[in-house]
Structure 1
Amino acid sequence: MSIVKIGVIGIGNMGSSHVLMLDEGKIKGAQLTAVCSSNDSRIDWVKNHTKGEVRVFKDVESFLNEAGIDAVFVATPHYSHPELAIKAFEKGKHVMIEKPAGVYTKNVLEMNAAAKESGKVFSIMYNQRANPLYQKVRELIQSGQLGEIKRTNWIVTDSYRPQSYYDSSKWRATWKGEGGGVLLNQALHQLDLWQWTTGYMPKRIRAITSLGKYHDIEVEDDVTAFVEYENGATGVFIASTGEAPGTNRFEIVGDRGKIVIENEELLFYKLSESEREFNTSYTGGFGQPSCEKIEIPVKCDNGNHAIIVQNWIDAILKGSPILSPGEDGVKALEISNGIYLSSWLNETVDLPVDADLYYEKLQEKIQSSTFEKKHVTNTILDVSGTH
């Protein structure tokens, strides 16, 4: 195989941008071959905005059986990601899914099992893993330069959304349509980077999620979570779509210093020796290890969608290592499910969460919902790389 023939399913905000990326030849070794959508207006959009010969399907089964594709890009609403990926794997297709991997871990784990059984290349659109800024943070931590982690703290409130954003479609910001709010949509990249850069998954979580605090929605738009790690370290994660101006500040403290990422700048406060060693050997009463402030020049790139797609294609054609394996999608989802469950139960929960209990509680949210959107515009937004 020299060219991977790709079919895109779902032509909404993100799907349309991926269609253009592929049609414009920005991905080497890939060819946009087909799309699948039940929305006539989006089908018309594809016909009017693509230069190549693109087959159009309204039915998923026909799309998978007749499109002549090697790989599928899933860009549909959240709940359908695992179901569609599993169907694609069963048809022998490679798969790329938009984030999140799904809404609840129960069927995402089933998707991961199907991916493994198929032997096909599976990736998820965690485009921030290709950001040189976070790659450098991961390198500093994974190389041991920061030492053992003692604390993490991420405030990510710079994803402000006005009410019109939530009114852009019927499914947005509902338990039935989206399965969550800021955690699943805006902050999921940070939840992934939180564990990917540090290599630490929380052991337990205590959280508060505020439903419709700043918007007329039924899901959360403001979150504060406290986590504990296996080694005794702690962390705090704060996310909101209702603060302006917002903050995006990530701190990681280790026994050999501190990393701070803010305003797309990376600072490393490097200690001359381990704080733990200094603590036991120093006899002067007051004092602390000497510290060097290092400004690490890194070009931040908040896009990188094309890099993740190119990496996926290279893995298919050349066997290149996957930067963002689809199987990793369950990790950030595990954290978000833990945050939700802790808030709903008003108690600390251990990870991994009880998948059946989480599913049960989510269904209760859906079935008991009386929320109705007052103004739905059905607008395709210019997301410019965001969700």
Structure 2
Amino acid sequence: MTTTSQPAETPAAERTVRLGIIGAGTQGSSYARFIAEGMVPHMTLTAIADTDPAQLAAAAEKHPGAATFSTHQELLASGLVDAVVTTIPHYQHPEVAIAAIEAGVATLVEKPAAVHTTQVKRMNAVAEAHPEVPFAIMFNQRNNPLYQQIKAIVDGGEIGEILRSNWIITTWWRPQGYYEQSAWRATWGGEGGGVLVNQAPHQLDLWQWICGVPQKVFAKAGFGFRRDIAVEDEVTALVDYGDGRTGTFTTCTHDLDGTDRLEILGTQGKIVVEGSKKATVKRYARPEKQISDESTPESARQLMSGNSAGLEGVVSTEVIEDTSAWGAQHSGVLENFALTVLGEAELLAPGTDGIHGVRLANAIHLSAWTGREVPIDFDESEYLAELNKRIEAEGVYPTQS
């Protein structure tokens, strides 16, 4: 376990973790503000690193108490931090995380963990070789009380065994001007993908966190479908869990009035989540198959004619709503991370869990590129070959290995 600068006898309530932020862009600046505003009680900002002099100067002006560095190596060698968070381009997450973990510095990586599974596996192997160093990932939606309750309901068997799940998450509308803000954005070599890599990683994580990891994936994707970009802006994926269960995942960046709807059908109930804010949970008094087997021709005729009297008392309904404020989920993950470093909590989102979302995104890409169903444990060399074809076609960025 990483140790902090305070004496061990200091009361837990008074101890804080010294954090270094690597990457002073939009996300890193948000985390610095959360800490400055007291939203993360057990964390203090002591260092910031960024390779962009202008961004570093702006961060120094806003947070004069934090030391500044032009590289992550300098920050890690400074002795000023107990922990770091990496808010940098996706491809760089593993390199910086590995350096931090090997330096004995607790590490929180932004989502996604990386762009491809080969990178993530290297990072996870280092983390597993250093179990004394806390390693987390910023899956802030796991800190959403609504999804925590839904996971508890599913794990507790309250809706029986899952039969099917469907997630439509199209609330990512991005105009063409968004993609033209930076040359690296929406490129294979610079960002590593489109909506699956940039906007939807939280849902890819939550879907598997709640419903389990599938075995196979078949996907259709549009690359530059409604935007002048190289990467995917439209995706529909069908997953197979290998035991009769299925799921679908639909996402895009061109729906001006998007939808966020998760539906989970079980053998003894159903959950529908709207807007990640409100869930309607229906529980059946008996398994649906038993209700069906107990029906008679007469009761079936009544149901078909709209008379549901025979089902009175069979279905109960609960509505759950999330009222948490914006930023509370992110700051909550930071606080959980700090408490873990202090030995007072367990990680809400262990960093090694980042493999799941990256692997599913890679499988969706590979299926869409090849036109065939692929296993979730796909051939990584084939994926990298397909990715590198696209990076080489861009002619700007180095290929991946």
Q: CA deviation at 1:189?
A: 0.7
1:33 touches 1:67 (CA, 8 Å); kept in 2?
Answer: no
The SS at the match of 1:173 is coil
Deviations, residues 126-171 of structure 1 (Å, cap 9, x unaligned): 1111111111111110110011111110000111111222122222
1:275 to 266, 288, 300: 288
User: Which has the larger Rg?
Assistant: 2
State the AA in 2 paired with 1:115. A
Give, in whole Å, the separation in 2 of the partners of 1:307 and 1:126: 11
The SS at the match of 1:368 is helix
2:138 is aligned to: 125
2:322 to 299, 321, 330: 299
Q: CA deviation at 1:299?
A: 1.9
1:188 to 181, 201, 217: 201
Give, in whole Å, the separation in 1 of the partners of 2:234 and 2:395: 21
State the AA in 2 paired with 1:14. Q
Give, in whole Å, the separation in 2 of the partners of 1:191 and 1:293: 29
Q: CA deviation at 1:319?
A: 3.8
Structure 2 length as normaliser, TM-score?
A: 0.88
1:101 is aligned to: 113
1:268 touches 1:296 (CA, 8 Å); kept in 2?
Answer: yes
**Which consecutive unaligned segments of at least 5 residues does structure 1 have?**
373-387
Q: CA deviation at 1:223?
A: 0.4
The SS at the match of 2:342 is helix
Give, in whole Å, the separation in 2 of the partners of 1:229 and 1:81: 30
Q: What is the correspondence of 1:182-221 to structure 2 with a 5 Å cutoff?
A: 182-198=195-211, 200-221=212-233
- 1:364 matches 2:376: no
1:7 touches 1:67 (CA, 8 Å); kept in 2?
Answer: no
Once structures 1 and 2 are overlaid, which stretch shifts more, 18-27 or 228-237? 18-27
Structure 1 length as normaliser, TM-score?
A: 0.91
2:273 is aligned to: 261
**Which consecutive unaligned segments of at least 5 residues does structure 2 have?**
5-14
- 1:113 matches 2:125: yes
1:168 to 160, 178, 181: 181
Give, in whole Å, the separation in 1 of the partners of 2:178 and 2:79: 34
**Aligned-pair RMSD on alpha carbons?**
1.9
1:308 is aligned to: 333
Q: CA deviation at 1:77?
A: 0.4
The SS at the match of 1:318 is coil
Deviations, residues 41-86 of structure 1 (Å, cap 9, x unaligned): 10111122114x2111112222211252111110000000011100
Q: What is the correspondence of 1:1-387 to structure 2 with a 5 Å cutoff?
A: 1=4, 2-51=15-64, 53-119=65-131, 120-198=133-211, 200-263=212-275, 264-284=277-297, 286=300, 290=311, 291-301=314-324, 303=327, 304-369=329-394
2:189 touches 2:396 (CA, 8 Å); kept in 1?
Answer: no
1:378 is aligned to: none
Pick closer, same or farther for the CA change 1:277–1:371 going to 2, 3 Å: farther
1:204 touches 1:351 (CA, 8 Å); kept in 2?
Answer: yes
Give, in whole Å, the separation in 2 of the partners of 1:30 and 1:164: 37
Give, in whole Å, the separation in 2 of the partners of 1:215 and 1:49: 36
The SS at the match of 1:218 is coil
Aligned residues: 370
Give the fraction of aligned pairs with identical amino acids, expressed as a percent.
38
1:133 touches 1:300 (CA, 8 Å); kept in 2?
Answer: no
The SS at the match of 2:113 is coil
Once structures 1 and 2 are overlaid, which stretch shifts more, 226-235 or 20-29? 20-29
Q: CA deviation at 1:269?
A: 2.1
2:117 touches 2:359 (CA, 8 Å); kept in 1?
Answer: yes
Q: CA deviation at 1:300?
A: 4.2
The SS at the match of 2:394 is coil
State the AA in 2 paired with 1:336. A
Q: CA deviation at 1:281?
A: 4.7
Q: CA deviation at 1:293?
A: 4.7
Give, in whole Å, the separation in 2 of the partners of 1:209 and 1:319: 44
Pick closer, same or farther for the CA change 1:293–1:244 going to 2, 3 Å: farther
